Amino acid sequence: MTTRFEVPAGHPALPGHFPGRPILPGVVLLDAVLQAAGHDRAHLLRAKFIAPVLPGDVVEIALTPRSGGRIGFACASGGRTVLSGELACEPAP
C-alpha cells in the first residue's frame, strides 16, 4: 500500500525546527506512517532517518506487510528515501 502527503509551508512544526532552515520533524513523519498503517496499537521497532523533508515536499509512504504482525515502511520524497523502518502491530482487542 502506498499513500502520499504534502508538507504545507505553514505546518505549525516548521517555524521552530530549525529557524532559518525549516525541516519537518521526524515525529511528524512517524505519525504519518502510523496513520497510513491504520494501527493505533503499533510499536516502532526501528527507524532510520536518511534525508530531511522540507516545506512543500511531497512524501510517499510505502507499507509492506511482514510476518508476525510487522509492517515495513519506506518514505520517499523527490526520488530519494528519507525514512525507513519497521512497526510491530498488536491485534485489535
Handedness of CA 7, 23, 73, 75 (dihedral sign): positive
Q: Which of 2, 13, 8 is nearest to 60 (CA)?
A: 2
Q: Is 11 among the residues known to form the active site? A: no
Please give the torsion angle defined by the CA atoms of residues 34, 40, 45 and 47, in that order, rounded to the nearest 10 degrees: 20
Catalytic residue among 11, 17, 39, 43: 17
Catalytic residues, by residue number, are 17
